[in-house]
Structure 1
């Protein structure tokens, strides 16, 4: 797919490739196909002069946009691999990740270097010396430089004869997902697994040439541009994003659930088909998107280890009445099964090859409990999120979808210490904008009653903390919030499921 994109960029150099937006929502061309092709060639030449080629690793901390895409194309052409770096992760975490990936060079834009001010040795072109580790590669700036930034990546490019593009499989990208500073964990995708994932996206979204697509992820950019569809990068301002959606007339839109909720709160209207993932998407959220004009609204189930794995449209999800969260049938080529403990295992051509430093494994352990219902995947909660109450294992994901009643924007079930080694189960429900809290509590009564032995000890109406780049609901922070509210007597809207004030023992 990346090779196809490289050819497509050169076939129609004047065609708009990446679209930006003004604060009024007006659409403008940020880069043409020719601009991207020329930029990728410059970066490839600059990296080649630095000795980057097959087997090399390039650390990249560049915001999504033309330069980030050009860097990916350049590294791919040379047969090297990209290690995706997050400068906001903090010095200890990032140093541990750099030590594991051992990049031969680090590319960072000015914003990343400003965020990572603790890493100012980068700006002096000094090699990064870490405790008990060999020296790592020097840093170069991608894009405009600010005072104190490292030298520009392509500052010294002369007439460089590039080698033929590498046309063989090998490592393509390293993405860090979790792990401590002592044991960071990194997903390694090969060129073939990335290609399979992007082909799956292309088959799912079916982008048409000439019609814009809205989205900022690599898996949106490449298939869309390779199909001849210009891509608009979504504004980070919800108000401007709503205007952007109104002006763009997109054939397809990919936004995370938090982005959708914020855009809807600004009165956004949608066109074409809308896709969302990276965090749970309820049937209620997908319904609101269709009510706001979308022809179709899809929830995508994906992992860093396998993107995308399954997808479900709003109508099918809304019609599902069983327990758990329906995320759809596995996409073509995706294999799904459950092990003896009920954990969902996934495999197929788009699955990651391995974790860095570990042996290849054809199966991805998702950490999700699930069941297969007529070939469709129904999630029942994360293994690590299990709450133990009265010697009973309760998996929140099995019941949380039922709590997304009208007026509820988010809902989590979390465990809080009961003081005797046991846990209490608390339902934390975030009201939507302008929701009537009394009406919301009344709407929750029926699903709470149906939860049987998993009925929560308390219901708390409060804003749910979010975390991470995708702004996923933060269970640990939510549990701390519930614990503090119950412990300090700041009950507010917290009540036991049977209506009594929290604090007494449940009979």
Structure 2
């Protein structure tokens, strides 16, 4: 098999004049990208970096940044992409994962990297390479280049460390082999839904760091499909505004559900011509049925949703065809991909179809384990299966429905309760567009739920009716102690609901004006 980055390199070689990147007024051709990657590779190799070396990449979005990923993977390195916005403590933690070299932006653009950069660049024990001049770093773009890019990765060696969001503490590093990493780029193995999705990637917007496995993967897939990648220009504060999508004639974009909610709200205030947009892929957290329905009405049959984890890669895909043809699709995350096996278990045994249990998966692109953390690995990997720690069920037509997270368990008066169950009930109310539920200590019941909801368009949230709905579906212990109405759900830098930020709102006047009864 052609090991990554060979599938991308082959396409670049075949059409060197093809424009592959657009960023503001700048365009970069396939041939120019290959030349950049060649210079980066030569510079790293001259610095003693080669197969098996651990390389941390801490860069913004640019052609040079993607050239780094092509180069380090061509050398067969183990690559860890750090997320922009990491705290100095998280950055220091990431440097402990066998890092032997760091690649950062040039000094004149380092502001795009985030607060971790000074700590990274100042680390005396690890050589620093930069994309342009930078004090204390080797400039990878200063050399003549000319080296031939040949994929040298060992299929069984670790290609990439994908870091979890770290929402429950320090991020974990999910190790993925070159064989598994390459699966995403093998066109002959793409399932039918992915082939249909990629047909829309003529002009794809990549707006988040390549530390995101979704952004990294779909950038490469876009190039393989013959498309052009659009990066936000320097100083562009909000690339996901509908007017930015209109201006750049974007045909495909990825975003979390809260960003979609904001985009639809803006479109109600000021329409934009999004006729070029043919695919909008949701990820990060499941979208509620109300949000999916509004998106379909406003944008047409272009809404997709992927469900997966850093540990597993993509597990299932919800397609526009599912939403158009199947009644229960709006409460699902689609069908598992053909290469992914899903097992729903309770107490270690597989449950009957339709019953709720813990979701286990087995797939060719999941991680081999958490890097250098055998005890944590043993908690989730058993006999080739990975425990997602999500709860769900398989519907009669094979659609996968999530019902909660086994980690989001709270004890209310000694009763085991799941936040996901409350979210599922509240999301079904017609006045609710988005909902997120957290647990917090409670002096009377031990713990209690607190709900955060975003209203659907032209809807007014009636808290008593939401409490009545929960009580009609779940036990008294599941009643939220408070319901906070928000314009939008706060997000982490990884694009997921920010549980910590919402927890800080508990007890605020907006949260306390309608409380559920004490149980």
TM-score class normalised by the smaller sequence: 0.7 to 0.9
Deviation at 1:39, TM superposition (A): 0.8
C-alpha distance after superposition, 1:193-222 (max 9, x if no partner): 112234477753323498323344111111
C-alpha distance after superposition, 1:381-430 (max 9, x if no partner): 11221122232222121231332344433212232333145223333222
Equivalent residues of 1:256, 1:470 under 8 A apart: no
Matched, 1:391 2:389: no
What CA distance in whole angstroms lies between the structure 1 residues aligned with 2:201 and 2:459? 44
**Worse overlay, 28-37 or 208-217:** 208-217
**Worse overlay, 217-226 or 228-237:** 228-237
Secondary structure of 2:493's match?
coil
Correspondences of 1:276-291 after superposition (within 5 Å): 276-291=282-297
Residue equivalent to 2:95: 98
Deviation at 1:167, TM superposition (A): 5.5
Matched, 1:494 2:513: yes
Correspondences of 1:17-416 after superposition (within 5 Å): 17-21=20-24, 30-86=27-83, 88-110=85-107, 111-112=109-110, 120=118, 128-129=123-124, 135=125, 137-143=126-132, 145=133, 148=135, 150-155=137-142, 157-158=143-144, 161-162=147-148, 164-166=150-152, 168-169=154-155, 170-177=157-164, 185-199=172-186, 204-206=193-195, 207-208=198-199, 211-216=202-207, 217-233=215-231, 237-238=237-238, 241-267=241-267, 268=272, 269=274, 271-313=277-319, 316=322, 325-341=331-347, 342-358=357-373, 361=381, 362-374=384-396, 375-404=398-427, 405-416=429-440
Correspondences of 1:443-462 after superposition (within 5 Å): 444=466, 447-453=469-475, 454-462=478-486
What CA distance in whole angstroms lies between the structure 1 residues aligned with 2:169 and 2:424? 36
Secondary structure of 2:332's match?
strand
Secondary structure of 2:140's match?
coil
Deviation at 1:493, TM superposition (A): 6.6
What CA distance in whole angstroms lies between the structure 2 residues aligned with 1:8 and 1:117? 36
Task: Give the 3 Å change call, closer, same or farther, for CA 163–465 of structure 1 in structure 2.
Answer: closer
Unaligned runs of 5+ in 2: 208-214, 348-356
C-alpha distance after superposition, 1:440-486 (max 9, x if no partner): 5476366334323133344332456524223322234323422x23x
Task: Give the 3 Å change call, closer, same or farther, for CA 332–190 of structure 1 in structure 2.
Answer: same
What CA distance in whole angstroms lies between the structure 1 residues aligned with 2:370 and 2:363? 16
**Worse overlay, 80-89 or 162-171:** 162-171
Deviation at 1:308, TM superposition (A): 1.4
Residue equivalent to 1:24: none
Task: Give the 3 Å change call, closer, same or farther, for CA 11–98 of structure 1 in structure 2.
Answer: same
Deviation at 1:78, TM superposition (A): 1.0
Task: Give the 3 Å change call, closer, same or farther, for CA 160–83 of structure 1 in structure 2.
Answer: same
What CA distance in whole angstroms lies between the structure 1 residues aligned with 2:232 and 2:288? 22
Give the alignment's TM-score, normalised by structure 2.
0.80
Unaligned runs of 5+ in 1: 22-27, 130-134
Equivalent residues of 2:35, 2:145 under 8 A apart: no
What CA distance in whole angstroms lies between the structure 1 residues aligned with 2:285 and 2:278? 22
Paired residue total: 475
Secondary structure of 2:12's match?
helix
What CA distance in whole angstroms lies between the structure 2 residues aligned with 1:213 and 1:310? 21
Deviation at 1:372, TM superposition (A): 2.4
Equivalent residues of 1:45, 1:162 under 8 A apart: no
What CA distance in whole angstroms lies between the structure 2 residues aligned with 1:180 and 1:471? 11
Task: Give the 3 Å change call, closer, same or farther, for CA 315–402 of structure 1 in structure 2.
Answer: farther
Secondary structure of 1:352's match?
coil
What CA distance in whole angstroms lies between the structure 1 residues aligned with 2:471 and 2:326? 19
Task: Give the 3 Å change call, closer, same or farther, for CA 324–391 of structure 1 in structure 2.
Answer: farther
Secondary structure of 2:342's match?
strand
**Higher-RCO chain (CA-CA 8 Å, sequence separation at least 6):** 2
Secondary structure of 2:299's match?
coil
Task: Give the 3 Å change call, closer, same or farther, for CA 337–234 of structure 1 in structure 2.
Answer: farther
Deviation at 1:186, TM superposition (A): 0.8
Equivalent residues of 1:274, 1:294 under 8 A apart: no
What's the C-alpha RMSD, in Å, of the aligned pairs?
Answer: 3.4
Equivalent residues of 2:232, 2:239 under 8 A apart: no
Residue equivalent to 2:13: 10
Give the alignment's TM-score, normalised by structure 1.
0.82
Task: Give the 3 Å change call, closer, same or farther, for CA 273–423 of structure 1 in structure 2.
Answer: same
Secondary structure of 1:266's match?
helix
